[in-house]
């Protein structure tokens, strides 16, 4: 199967997980089309404009991995604040919490993958 960029579902989400501003989410795989084979629920690129954030939230029954593609941000990793830049990988396991904010002057692009435990 090949999915072309123009065919991918794109969502604009306001205040995602209690965060600030709007986020653009491009879905590479979709649960509704059974493209995860029951093993996950999200594989997407998230784009946060400067000052935009994804609010603090806990993962229960799954884990999430972020790969920073471009831009800069501040991650809350279970209460520890860390600056992130392109190439950094953030792993949030079952029972852990995280959030991220674009603290830079350019878009923060994040590859996000959520898999079930």
DSSP 61-117: SEEEEEEEEES-EEEEETTEEEEE-TT-EEEE-TT-EEEEEE-SSS-EEEEEEEEE-
* pTM of the predicted model as reported, rounded to 2 decimal places: 0.95
Fold of 8-116: Jelly Rolls (2.60.120)
Region 81-85: what's the mean pLDDT? 99
Q: Which residues contact 7 (CB under 8 A, 6 or more apart)?
A: none
* Residue 81: predicted pLDDT: 98
Region 24-52: what's the mean pLDDT? 97
- Give the chain's mean pLDDT: 98
Q: Is 85 strand, coil or helix?
A: coil
Query: Residue 113 — pLDDT band, cuts 50, 70, 90?
Result: very high
Which range has the worst mean pLDDT, 7-11, 22-26, 32-36?
32-36
* Residue 38: predicted pLDDT: 94
Q: Domain ranges for the chain, please list them.
A: 8-116
* Residue 53: predicted pLDDT: 99
């Amino acid at each position: 199967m090949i999915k072309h960029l123009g065919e991918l579902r794109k969502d604009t989400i306001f205040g995602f997980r209690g965060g600030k501003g709007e986020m653009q989410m491009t879905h590479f795989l979709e649960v509704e089309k059974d493209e995860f084979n029951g093993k996950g629920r999200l594989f997407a690129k998230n784009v946060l404009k400067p000052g935009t954030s994804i609010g603090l939230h806990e993962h229960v029954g799954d884990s999430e991995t972020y790969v920073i593609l471009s831009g800069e941000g501040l991650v809350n990793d279970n209460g520890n604040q860390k600056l992130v830049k392109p190439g950094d990988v953030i792993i949030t396991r079952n029972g852990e919490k995280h959030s991220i904010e674009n603290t830079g002057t350019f878009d923060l692009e994040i590859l996000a993958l959520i898999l079930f435990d």
